[in-house]
Chain A
Amino acid sequence: MSGLDWGVLVGTIAFIVLYGVWKTRKTQHMTGYLRADNTERWWMMGLSIMATQASAITFLSTPGQAFDDGMRFIQFYFGLPLAMVVLSITAIPIYYRLKVYTAYEYLESRFDLKTRSLAALLFLVQRGLSTGITIYAPAIILSAILGWNLTATILFIGVVVTFYTVVGGTKAVSQTQRLQMAVMLGGMLVAAVVVVRLLPDGVGFAEAMTVAGKAGKLNLVDLSFNPNDRYNLWSGLIGGFFLSLSYFGTDQSQVGRYLGGETIAQSRLGLLMNGLVKVPMQFLILLVGVLVFVFYQFYQPPLYFNQQHAANVLASAEAPAWQSLEAQSQEVFQQKKAASLAVVEAEQRGDEQAKEQAAQAMQQAEAQRKALRQEAQELVKKHNQGTDLKDTDYVFLTFVTQQLPQGLIGLLLAVVLCAAMGSTASAFNSLASTTVVDVYKRSLRKNASDDHYVAASRWFTVGWGAVSILFALFASQLENLIQAVNILGSLFYGTILGVFIAAFYFKRLAANAVFWAAVGTQFLIFLLYFTTNIAYLWYNLIGVVLVVGIGYGLRAVLPRQA
């Protein structure tokens, strides 16, 4: 990395952190620390909500996913705007009426303490474990591509985020996130423009879209209904709707963002802004990935994007096999490049028949490339036991570091670090607020002063920061555990949402029935996960149906509560 890149990267991160700390240095009361004094404007909350969801992996994995699998992942977000509308109508007025600090407080007023504690506990377990991965995942990729020290990268992200979240609480999270979001959106827009400019002469955006389309990458909408298929219109609209309801309506890392609004109207507008902007934003990120794919139709890509894994194979006895695969890959690339250029020329001549023929040749070459990559992956698997073998996460950053001009590399790395810091800050803040409000203040130390709870919030932020950093530091030895944590975390959402849906809409359901229904639902969801192939998005809907269904069943047999 050049001095200019370091300057852009360090300057951007330092400015954002110092600005956040300076603006929020006087935060002293609970309302200020956990609800930003209810001074947030809608656009600040909208940016904060988006920055919370957009982790570093969003900017590393998503372009890689488009590179490999096309743009069909966009369908995952189709249910989100609908969920924003429903939450604006239902959840926000309830949370404001009760003046809650966390979503789980509401459950005690509607049901009882044990239901509130169960939901808070599920959140703390799920978010507490996943926050370590939010730090670890980008750190491992940055260290592999840039040669940064993994431990130093994890410590840098974790300590800096803990520092400004401790100082300013929710306000600091929000102040920094709006700047981080500006860097992220600006950086990706610049990346999209630069990729197109790097394409060969005569290949512009229109031609790039044609090549991407013929390669099957513009598969944005799939109307077929298949419950085992992760991404289609229906799983996106229905499964994505329930996932978004759960994430934005019951996950404190998001609820905490819009509880700081000046008024109900401001909070509603913040959520609706997310509903309007999120799908186009994801489209932009996926489009960058597709444009990178088109770039590598004309310029030789590496056989395998994770160079550390490739180096391990090259250092083994199977180096000749690897070199043979690389040589074959170069031949296939030449065929693919010729076919891609033929597609572009046919498109410019308006010769549909020639375009289809060239497209077929391009698709055949792409199939050969995939087969070679599959063989390469088998070799990598043999010599990199126990590590994550998905190299698509490395595609975008490899492109950035090898192809972009000086200065822009620093900007795009700032995008990744801003995303990591924004989502981690929300997580620390929400973990601390849930621990203080739903556990410490409610059950352990009930009548202390406001200053005491602010101090406790700061200490719990430090504590959760330390837990997450430690988890991230040890994650490299627990690669398989990370997968398990990611999957298990997503399996809790359906149950939590079921409890909230029962609270909001099923007035006849009482505390005991809902509590035991939630416990039973969580057990059944784990059972379904281990015995069926249902795509994970559907577990949100299944969780809601089970909690409400079992709740009504138990209502008939359990004694009525007063």
Chain B
Amino acid sequence: MTKGDIDPPPFFKSWTAMYWLVIGVLAALIGLFYLLTVLYR
């Protein structure tokens, strides 16, 4: 393992938080896209 493995990501305390950011952004985008689909149907 390199030292980089234990380095936290920038702006976040842990990698777990970073992963939740990616999943959260995906969930928000799907929600937004669903809203667009329904609103403009």
Contact = CB atoms under 8 A, between A and B. Distances in A.
Interface stretch (A247-255, A267-275, A543-551): A267-275
A220 to B, nearest CB: 4
A234 B29 CA distance: 15
Contacts of B1: 93, 96-97, 264
Query: Mostly helix, strand, loop or mixed at chain A's interface?
Result: helix
Contact of B22 (A81, A96, A97, A264): A81
Interface string A185-222: 00000000000000000000000011011100011111
B10 to A, nearest CB: 8
Given A214-B40, A219-B37, A276-B25, A263 B15 contact: no
Nearest to A263: B4
Interface string B17-35: 0110111011001100110
A159 interface: no
Contacts of B19: 85, 88-89, 272
B37 to A, nearest CB: 5
A74 B30 CA distance: 10
A269 B21 CA distance: 12
Given A220-B37, A221-B30, A221-B33, A81 B23 contact: yes
Contacts of A233: 30
Given A74-B33, A81-B22, A220-B34, A266 B41 contact: no
A78 B40 contact: no
Nearest to B32: A220
A261 B2 CA distance: 11
A84 interface: yes
A269 B9 contact: yes
Interface in A211-240: 212-214, 218-223, 233
Query: Mostly helix, strand, loop or mixed at chain B's interface?
Result: helix
A96 B23 contact: no
Contact of B26 (A78, A97, A210, A269): A78
B23 A218 contact: no
A93 B22 contact: no
User: Contact size class for B?
Assistant: 20 to 34
A96 B36 contact: no
A221 B4 CA distance: 38
Nearest to B31: A221
A262 interface: yes
Contacts of B37: 218-222
User: Contact size class for A?
Assistant: 35 or more
Nearest to B29: A279
A88 B40 contact: no
Contacts of B22: 81, 84-85, 272, 275-276
A88 B15 contact: yes
B30 A265 contact: no
A213 B9 contact: no
Given A74-B33, A93-B1, A263-B7, A82 B40 contact: no
Interface string A272-304: 100110011001000000000000000000000
A263 B5 contact: yes
Nearest to A92: B5
B23 A265 contact: no
Contact of B9 (A97, A222, A265, A276): A265
A43 B7 CA distance: 17
A93 B33 contact: no
A313 to B, nearest CB: 36
Nearest to B3: A263
B5 A212 contact: no
A261 B4 CA distance: 10
B34 to A, nearest CB: 4
Contacts of B33: 74, 220-221, 283
A114 B22 CA distance: 37
Contacts of A222: 37
Given A82-B23, A88-B15, A272-B18, A265 B5 contact: yes
A156 B40 CA distance: 44
A415 B36 CA distance: 28
Contact of A96 (B2, B18, B21, B41): B2
Contacts of B26: 78, 81-82, 275, 279
Given A74-B33, A213-B41, A264 B23 contact: no
Contacts of A268: 9, 15, 18
9 contacts: A81-B23, A81-B26, A209-B40, A221-B34, A223-B34, A263-B2, A263-B3, A266-B4, A272-B19
Interface of B: 1-5, 7-10, 15, 18-19, 21-23, 25-26, 29-30, 33-34, 36-37, 39-41
5 tightest A-B contacts by CB?
A263-B4, A213-B40, A220-B33, A265-B4, A221-B34
Given A261-B4, A276-B22, 11 more contacts: A81-B22, A84-B22, A96-B2, A213-B40, A218-B37, A218-B40, A265-B4, A268-B9, A269-B9, A272-B18, A280-B29
